[in-house]
């Protein structure tokens, strides 16, 4: 049996090299060789986010002596140009080396050494690995027989992800946990990244990605992480019921876990409830999410309450730019991710090049009923100039362009509905198909258009060009719908409500009029609200 597996020294973090190869590296090498890797490449995106946040927590704690914003900008600029502060990071890792041993007999990393149940039952590896409701794994290349055991490296990755985004639901009841009833641990909610819509800024390398998400002003002396504190026991940590800082939040111990070995592989696991955490008002510590003011939560809690915005798996990133980019919100109901404010500060201070390319990535889970299963995963990104995060006119241009595109999609969906009515058939299916086709058609156009925006872009010129591009593509799509509408639509039908006949010609005329109005220079539309913008889930 393997006696030790120290995550600082042993390879377990899966990365992708600049040449596209996969490699497992240790924590130490992830920092030392960060320039050699294009990014993390674990089994699923949410696992990568958990590992990224672990690395960031280490970086925050190793550099927490930065005292003010000006010093932070200066140091950050040096690290961007010359490399990460490896001396500080290495010294910090050496100080806590023993606490990173996955197999330590007394203090195993992110586990409880003597965790057990009244009956000796375990949870199985299924509880360690993210599942979808059907029971098939999100990591679809793994078949059922493949989870008989895990390598120590993969088990470590899933363990970190478990604390970060595990589903809720009933857990195995741990002996010594006062909350257990009848051998069961009743739901306390998901891991923290499951409760927010994660937003990450990614660069050309792991080095750039780490720095782009290292919001130095959020570091504080009161912050702490599990390896700096006494080991958790099976019960809830009453003395540590709220996060003390960003690093603490990134490593929050949502579960109590123990990996069970068979030789040098992990054959089983025990997963129990850990420390509960709610999403309310975490914006002071959580820079990787946008936030919205919640009236229901404010009424319930009797104080101003902000909730994280979550991602809709049915909606591309560019259809929800307003809460990501807009710095000044008239109603004060939205707060954009703090990491973007930090990027703007770095750009203003000259630490970050004025037109540095950043991939804005959104990642998340959509959970099923009672958050006890996974319904869908979100992973989308948009390559933009950092100028969009700093220049309000450019941000407004991108937000407006998104609105133009979304309104044009509604226009072609209306055309599909009218053509269906003209043919005497149910318009709903045709309308839904038109929505999908239009968004599919505009998606690559918007991504190319946004990618080409720079600090020198003429806002009026770029807006006009986008309107023309949308009008041309949607007109083409509308023409295809008319040609496929059939003879019945050409003949048309009398609308008894209006007393007018709806036919292909009239549907086309209405469509062109609406589309011209929405894509002209003075007809720019605002982004359309969608179902996920409601606050019903806050009740």
Question: Which DSSP string do the residues of 243-288 spell out, in sequence order?
Answer: --SHHHHHT---EEEEEEEETTEEEEEEEEE------TT-TTT--S
pLDDT value at position 238?
A: 81
| Residue 536's pLDDT band (cuts 50, 70, 90) | very low
Contacts 24+ apart (CB under 8 A), 225-232: 225/57, 225/58, 225/61, 225/251, 226/99, 226/110, 226/251, 226/253, 227/96, 227/99, 227/100, 227/109, 228/61, 228/96, 228/99, 231/106, 231/107, 231/112, 231/113, 232/112, 232/256, 232/274
* pLDDT at residue 530 in the model: 47
- HEC profile for 413-446? HHHHHHHHHHHCCCHHHHHHHHHHHHHHHHHHHH
Between 154 and 3, residue with greater pLDDT: 154
Is residue 68, in this structure, part of any structural domain at all?
A: yes
Residue 100 belongs to a domain:
yes
Domain boundary among 228, 255, 273: 273
Taking only the tens place, the pLDDT of each residue in 182-235 is 999 999 999 999 999 999 999 999 999 999 999 999 888 899 999 999 999 998
- pLDDT tens digits, 79-134: 999 999 999 999 999 999 999 999 999 999 999 999 999 999 999 999 999 754 44
Q: Which residue has the tokens 């995550």?
A: 7
**What CATH number has the domain bearing residue 449?**
1.10.132.100
What does the pLDDT look like over 78-89, one tens digit per residue? Answer: 999 999 999 999
Mean pLDDT of 378-397: 96
Given pLDDT bands bounded at 50, 70 and 90, which one contains residue 148? confident
Q: Percentage of residues in the chain with pLDDT exceeding 70? A: 92
Q: Which of 8-22, 402-416, 448-462, 513-527 has the lowest mean pLDDT?
A: 513-527
DSSP state of 10: S
Res 529: pLDDT: 53
* DSSP 3-state of 224: coil
What is the CB-side half-sphere exposure of residue 313 using CA atoms within 13 A?
Answer: 10
User: Is residue 377, in this structure, part of any structural domain at all?
Assistant: no
Instruction: Specify which of 168-172, 460-464, 534-538 reaches the highest per-range mean pLDDT.
Output: 460-464
What is the number of structural domains in the chain?
Answer: 2
Share of residues in the chain with pLDDT > 90 (%) = 83
Which structural domain range is residue 405 located in?
392-533
Q: Give the per-residue pLDDT at 531.
A: 36
Q: Do residues 266 and 397 both lie within one domain?
A: no
Residue 369 near residue 406 (C-beta atoms within 8 A)? no
Helices (H), 105-229: 152-165, 206-212
Could you tell me the sign of the dihedral formed by the alpha carbons of 103, 106, 111, 114, in that order?
A: positive
- pLDDT of 137 above 70: no
Q: Which of 239, 273, 307 is the last residue of a domain?
A: 273
* Contacts of range 530-539, beta carbons closer than 8 Å, 24 or more positions apart: 530/312, 530/315, 530/319, 531/312, 532/310, 532/311, 532/312, 532/315, 535/292, 535/294, 535/295, 535/296, 535/307, 538/294, 538/296, 538/297, 538/307, 539/296
What's the mean pLDDT in 59-78?
A: 90
Q: Does the pLDDT of residue 489 top 90, yes or no?
A: yes
Which residue would you say has higher pLDDT here, 520 or 300?
300
Domain presence at residue 278? no
- For residue 281, being part of any structural domain is answered with no
pLDDT digits (tens, 9 = 90+) for 232-259: 999 898 888 899 999 999 999 999 999 9
The Cα 347–Cα 353 span in angstroms is 6
Q: Is 436 part of a structural domain of the chain?
A: yes
DSSP symbols for 449-486? HHHT--TT--HHHHHHHHHHHHHHHHHHHHHHHHHTS-
Q: Same domain for 264 and 409?
A: no
Is pLDDT at 362 greater than 70 in this prediction? yes
Domain boundary (273, 299, 323) is at: 273
pLDDT band of residue 522 (cuts 50, 70, 90) is low
Average confidence score pLDDT of the chain? 92
pLDDT score recorded for residue 324: 94
Residue 288 domain-assigned (yes or no): no
| Nearest alpha carbon to residue 223 among 197, 195, 198, 242 | 242
Please check whether residue 2 lies inside any domain of the structure: no
């Amino acid at each position: 049996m393997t006696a030790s597996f120290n995550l600082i020294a042993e390879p377990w973090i899966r990365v992708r090299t600049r040449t596209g190869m996969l490699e497992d590296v240790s924590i130490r090498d992830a920092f030392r060789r960060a320039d050699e890797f294009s990014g993390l490449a674990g089994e699923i995106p949410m696992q990568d986010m958990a590992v990224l946040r672990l690395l960031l927590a280490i970086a925050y704690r190793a550099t927490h002596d930065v005292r003010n914003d000006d010093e932070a900008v200066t140091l950050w600029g040096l690290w961007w140009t010359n490399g990460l502060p490896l001396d500080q990071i290495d010294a910090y890792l050496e100080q806590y080396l023993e606490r990173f041993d996955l197999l330590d007999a007394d203090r195993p990393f992110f586990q409880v050494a003597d965790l057990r149940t009244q009956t000796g039952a375990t949870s199985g590896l299924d509880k360690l690995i993210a599942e979808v409701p059907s029971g098939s794994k999100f990591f679809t290349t793994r078949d059922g027989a493949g989870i008989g055991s895990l390598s120590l490296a993969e088990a470590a990755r899933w363990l970190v992800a478990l604390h970060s985004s595990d589903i809720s639901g009933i857990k195995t009841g741990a002996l010594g946990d006062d909350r257990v009833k009848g051998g069961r641990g009743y739901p306390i909610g998901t891991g923290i990244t499951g409760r927010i819509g994660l937003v990450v800024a990614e660069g050309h390398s792991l080095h750039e990605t780490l720095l782009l998400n290292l919001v130095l002003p959020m570091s504080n002396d009161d912050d702490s992480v599990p390896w700096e504190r006494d080991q958790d026991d099976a019960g809830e940590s009453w003395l540590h019921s709220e996060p003390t800082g960003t690093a603490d939040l990134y490593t929050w111990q949502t579960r109590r876990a123990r990996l069970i070995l068979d030789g040098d592989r992990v054959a089983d696991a025990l997963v129990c409830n850990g420390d509960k955490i709610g999403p309310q008002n975490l914006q002071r510590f959580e820079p990787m999410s946008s936030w919205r003011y919640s009236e229901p939560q404010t009424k319930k809690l009797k104080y101003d309450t902000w909730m994280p915005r979550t991602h809709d798996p049915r909606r591309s990133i560019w259809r929800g730019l307003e809460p990501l980019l807009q710095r000044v919100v008239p109603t004060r109901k939205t707060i954009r991710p703090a990491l973007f404010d930090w990027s703007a500060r770095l750009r203003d201070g000259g630490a970050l090049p004025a037109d540095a390319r950043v991939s804005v990535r959104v990642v998340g889970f959509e959970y099923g009923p009672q958050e006890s299963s996974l319904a869908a995963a979100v992973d989308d990104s948009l390559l933009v100039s950092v100028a969009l995060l700093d220049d309000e006119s450019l941000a407004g241009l991108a937000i407006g362009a998104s609105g133009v595109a979304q309104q044009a999609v509604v226009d072609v969906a209306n055309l599909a509905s009218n053509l269906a009515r003209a043919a005497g058939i149910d318009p709903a299916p045709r309308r839904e198909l038109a929505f999908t086709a239009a968004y599919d058609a505009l998606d690559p156009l918007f991504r190319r258009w946004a990618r080409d925006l720079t600090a020198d872009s003429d806002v009026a010129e770029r807006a006009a060009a986008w309107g023309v591009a949308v009008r041309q593509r949607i007109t083409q799509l509308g023409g295809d719908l008319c040609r496929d509408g059939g003879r019945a639509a050409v003949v048309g039908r009398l609308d008894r409500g209006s007393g007018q006949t709806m036919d292909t010609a009239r549907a086309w005329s209405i469509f062109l009029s609406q589309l011209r109005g929405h894509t002209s220079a003075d007809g720019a539309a605002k982004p359309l609200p969608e179902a996920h913008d409601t606050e019903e889930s806050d009740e």
